[in-house]
Amino acid sequence: MAHPSESAGDRLHQTLQARFGFDRFRPGQEEAAAAVLEGRDLVAVMPTGSGKSLCFQLPALLLDGTTVVVSPLIALMKDQVDGLRARGIAAAALHSGLTASERAAAEGDLTAGRLRLVYIAPERLASAPFRAALARIRVARLVVDEAHCISQWGHDFRPDYGRIGALRHELAVPAAAFTATATPEVRADIARQLDLSDPLELVTGFERPNLTLAVDPCRSRADKARAVDALLHEVGPPGIVYAATRKNVEIWAAHLEGRRLRAGRYHAGMGDAERARVQDDFLAGRLEVIAATNAFGMGVDKKDLRFVAHADVPGSLEAYYQEVGRAGRDGLPARGALLFGPADVRTQEFFLAGSNPSPDLFRRVWALLGEGTDDEEIEVAVAAGDAASGMAASTAARLLRRAAERLGRSFGQGDPPIDFEAQAAKARRDRARLDTMLRYAFGRGCRTRFIYDYFAGAARGGAIPRCGTCDVCLGWRRAEGRPLDDREFERVRIALSAVARLPARFGVERIAQVLVGSRSREVIGRRLDRIPTFGRLQDLALDEVKGLLEVLVDAGLLVRRGIEGGRAGAFVLALSDEGAAVMRADRRPLLALPGGDAPRTKETRAARHEPRLRLRPRMKKEPAALPEPDAGLLDRLRKWRFAEAKRRGVPAFVIFHDTTLGALAALRPSDEKALRAVRGIGPAKAEAYGEAILQVLSDPSRNPGPGNEADR
C-alpha cells in the first residue's frame, strides 16, 4: 500500500483539520487523498459511507487549478456542492437541472478560474463546446465518481460514461476513479477505459463495526413480515425496506402503515414530483420508514438510518452492499437484514430473462423496427402473454434504437447492429452475479469476509479475519451441533461419498434421489443407479435425505456452486476439504440433526402414524428471562469496556452492547463454554475478549482495564 510523503501527509492533515474540522482520516482516506495530491492515477473501492468524497475534495484545495468531478446524479452533486460552499470552498455543478442564469453563473466562474471543484454530469461531455471550454482552463485533476458505470463489466453500466476516456486524453491530467462496488475485473476495465498509468489500487472500508449484517431465512411473506416487525422492535426507525417490484413496494408500504408508522413508498411508476416529495419528507424526518425499489437511495445522504431491509433478494452483491451500506452512516448501531427465501430467486430470473434478449429476439425486433412498429406494439407482438418476453423485447428495442442512432443505420436494414458475443458475455456475468448473491444468502461464514473477499480479490493482501459483528460471528440462529451415534455418522459419510462420486454435477434433489434409490427417469436415464451409493439410504424418506444434505451444507461439509452456463440460481453440490476429511472418517463432526436418536425409518413411522421428521437444523430456543444483573459487576464490566474501547480507538458499543454486559453480569459465566452461550458473544468476540472478561467476572478486586498484553 502506498504511503504519502511526510510533506504531503502534513499538508493533508493540516487542511483536514482547518477546512473540514476532522482530527483524523478514516481507513483508506489518507492514502487516496495523497495519491490524488501527488498526481498518481488511482482506482479506489470505498463502500457507501466511508468518506470517498473527502479523498478528492481535500487535495483539490491544495492543487493549482480546478478539479473536475464527473458524477451521475444531480442530487449527489447538489449535496456535495452545498456542503463545500458551506465550508467556504468555491464549487459549482453543471447539469440539466439548472436554470439558464444558474448555468451561466457556474460557467462564468469556471472559465474565470474561480472554482476549486466543478461537478459535471456525464451527458455534458457530449457537448464539444463544453469540452473545448474545459480545455482552455487550468484543470488540475479528473475525478470519476461511481466509476463502475464506465465498465460494461459493472453492474450499472451507463453508455454516457464512455465519453470520459476521451475527456481524459483531451485534458491530459492525472485521474482518480472512485466507486463503492467494483470487483477486480471491473477495476481492471475502469483502468483500461481511462487509460490510467500504473494506478494505485485501493480497496478499503468494508469493515463497518456498527453495522450488523444478517440474513433471515424466510419461507413465506408472513415470515418476512415478522422479520420486519422484529427489526422495528429491536432497532427502530428510520429505515428502508427494499423490494424488487412496484407491486411488492406497495404491499410493504401498506404493512408499515398498518404498524402505525409514517411510511412512504418510492418506485419508478410514480411521477417525478411525487418521488421528490417522498424523498424530501424522508430526509427531513417527516416519514419514519420507506418502502422502495432500487430506484431510491443513490446519492441520498441520510446518516441516521437504523436499518436497511431487503424483502426480496437483489440481483447482485454489488447492488446489495451499496444499498445496505446506507445504514448507520452516523456511526451508531444499525442493521442490514436480507429476508431470504429461495423462492425469491424466480423474480431475479425474470429480470435476467428480460434484460438479456436472445439473438433471435434481437433479429425479430430489428425487423419490426424496420416496419415502423413502435415499442409498445413490439412488446405486445413478441410477449404472447409472457411478461419476461415482453420485457426482453423492450430491452432489445431500446438497445437497437441506441445502436442505430450511434452508427447512422436504418432500422431493419441488414443484420442488427448488436455484438451478440458481448451480449452473451453480459448474460453470463449477470447470471454469475446472481449466483454470488445467492451464495452470500445461503452462506454460513462471516458476512463481511465474504463481501470483502469478493470485492478485494488479489488487492486484499490477505483475507480479513471474522468481523465479530455479523449474525454469523455473533452466533445468531446458530444451530446446536451434537455428537453423532455410529449409524448417524455412517449416513453422513454415505451422503458425502455420493456427492464425491458425482463431482459438481447435481443438486440436492437429484443426489437425494440417488441415495434413496429412486427409479425415476432422471436417475435411471443418467445411469445414476450404477454408482456404489445408490439406494444406501433407502430406509429414509426423500425429504429427510434432502434435509440431511442441507445440514451438511450448513456445517460446511458440502458447498453450493453455480453451474457454468446454467440457469441462474441453480446450484450443484460439491465436497469441501472438511467434508472429505469426514467422509474418510479422519474426523467426526458435531451436527445439528434433530433429536438424540437416529431418524425413524419409513416403516416405523407408518406403523405409528407419525409425521415425517424434518431433518433441518434446529435453532436455539429463545433464552429464558435472565436474573437481575449484579450491579457492582455490571459497573466493573462497563469500566473494562470503556478502557478497552479507548485503547482500540472505537466506540464502546463496538466492544459489547449494554444488553450483552447485562447478561454477563446476570449469568456470570465461569469458563469459555459458558461465555460463548451468552447471547451476543460469538466466536470472534470470545477470542478477542474472552480471557479478559472471565478475569473481570472471577476477580472482584481486579482493576478493569484493557485486555492482556497478548491481546495488544
Under DSSP, is residue 582 helix (H, G, I), strand (E, B) or coil? helix
Residue 309's pLDDT is 95
Domain end: 608, 640, 673, which one?
A: 608
Per the domain annotation, does 616 fall within a domain? no
Query: CATH no. for residue 519?
Result: 1.10.10.10
pLDDT: which is higher, 479 or 328: 328
C-alpha cell belonging to residue 532? 456404489
Most confident of 628-642, 648-662, 690-704: 628-642
Query: CATH no. for residue 678?
Result: 1.10.150.80
Residue 339's pLDDT is 94
**Do 192 and 216 have their domain in common?**
no
pLDDT exceeds 50 at position 220? yes
Residue 594's pLDDT is 63
pLDDT: which is higher, 500 or 569: 500
Place of cell 418502502: 291
Q: Which long-range contacts (CB under 8 A, 24 or more apart) does 616-625 make?
A: 616/547, 616/550, 616/551, 617/479, 617/550, 617/551, 617/554, 617/592, 618/479, 618/480, 618/592, 618/594, 619/477, 619/479, 620/477, 620/478, 620/479, 620/480, 623/679
Give 375-395 pLDDT, tens digit per residue. Answer: 778 877 777 667 778 888 888
C-alpha cell belonging to residue 382? 413478441
Per the domain annotation, does 561 fall within a domain? yes
Residue 705's pLDDT is 46
Under DSSP, is residue 454 helix (H, G, I), strand (E, B) or coil? helix
Per the domain annotation, does 22 fall within a domain? yes
Query: CATH no. for residue 63?
Result: 3.40.50.300
Per the domain annotation, does 454 fall within a domain? no
Query: In terms of DSSP bridges, do strands 558-562 and 571-575 run parallel, antiparallel, or are they unpaired?
Result: antiparallel
DSSP element (H, E) containing 257? helix 246-258
Per the domain annotation, does 345 fall within a domain? no
**Do 176 and 234 have their domain in common?**
no
pLDDT exceeds 50 at position 618? no
Residue 617's pLDDT is 33
Domain end: 340, 361, 396, which one?
A: 340
Stretch 455-475: mean pLDDT:
68
Confidence of residue 336 (pLDDT cuts 50, 70, 90): very high
Under DSSP, is residue 239 helix (H, G, I), strand (E, B) or coil? strand
**Do 199 and 82 have their domain in common?**
yes
**Do 234 and 194 have their domain in common?**
no
pTM over 0.85: no
Dihedral over alpha carbons 130, 133, 138, 142 (to 10 degrees): 10
**Proportion of the chain above pLDDT 90, given as a percent:** 8
Residue 152's pLDDT is 60
Give the distance, in angstroms, between the CA of residue 387 and the centroid of all CA atoms in the same chain.
Answer: 28
Residue 605's pLDDT is 38
Stretch 11-22: mean pLDDT:
81
Residue 671's pLDDT is 85
Per the domain annotation, does 183 fall within a domain? yes
Domain end: 154, 174, 203, which one?
A: 203
Q: Which residues pair with 572 in a beta bridge?
A: 561
**Do 24 and 140 have their domain in common?**
yes
**Do 388 and 269 have their domain in common?**
no
CA-CA distance, 263 to 252, in Å (whole number)? 9
Confidence of residue 227 (pLDDT cuts 50, 70, 90): very high
pLDDT exceeds 80 at position 457? no
CA-CA distance, 669 to 257, in Å (whole number)? 43
Residue 466's pLDDT is 67
Instruction: Look at residues 44, 25, 45 and name the one whose alpha carbon lies nearest to residue 451.
Output: 45
Domain that holds residue 701: 631-711
Most confident of 384-393, 664-673, 692-701: 664-673
Q: What share of the chain is helix, strand, coil (3-state, %, to 5)?
A: 50, 10, 40
Most confident of 135-149, 229-243, 519-533, 579-593: 229-243
**Do 407 and 491 have their domain in common?**
no
CB neighbours of 67 closer than 8 A, spacing ≥ 6? 56, 59, 60, 116, 117, 118, 139, 140, 141, 142, 143
**Do 412 and 515 have their domain in common?**
no
Q: Lowest mean pLDDT: which of 38-47, 61-70, 267-276, 585-594?
A: 585-594
**Do 415 and 397 have their domain in common?**
yes
Q: What angle do CA 234, 236, 242 make, to 5 degrees?
A: 105
**Do 364 and 318 have their domain in common?**
no
Q: Say how many domains are in the chain.
A: 5
**Do 261 and 367 have their domain in common?**
no
Per the domain annotation, does 449 fall within a domain? no
Q: Lowest mean pLDDT: which of 114-123, 489-498, 518-527, 586-595?
A: 586-595
Per the domain annotation, does 405 fall within a domain? yes
**Do 355 and 331 have their domain in common?**
no
For 273-329, the DSSP string reads: HHHHHHHHHHHTTS-SEEEE-TTS-TT---TT--EEEESS--S-HHHHHHHHTTTTT
User: Using DSSP, how many helices (H) and how many strands (E) does the chain show?
Assistant: 30, 15
CA-CA distance, 431 to 563, in Å (whole number)? 10
pLDDT: which is higher, 564 or 457: 457
Instruction: Look at residues 497, 346, 355 and name the one whose alpha carbon lies nearest to residue 423.
Output: 355
Residue 328: count of CB within 10 angstroms of its CB = 25
Q: Lowest mean pLDDT: which of 157-171, 555-569, 698-712?
A: 698-712
pLDDT exceeds 50 at position 711? no
Q: Lowest mean pLDDT: which of 236-245, 254-263, 472-481, 486-495?
A: 472-481
pLDDT, averaged across the chain: 79
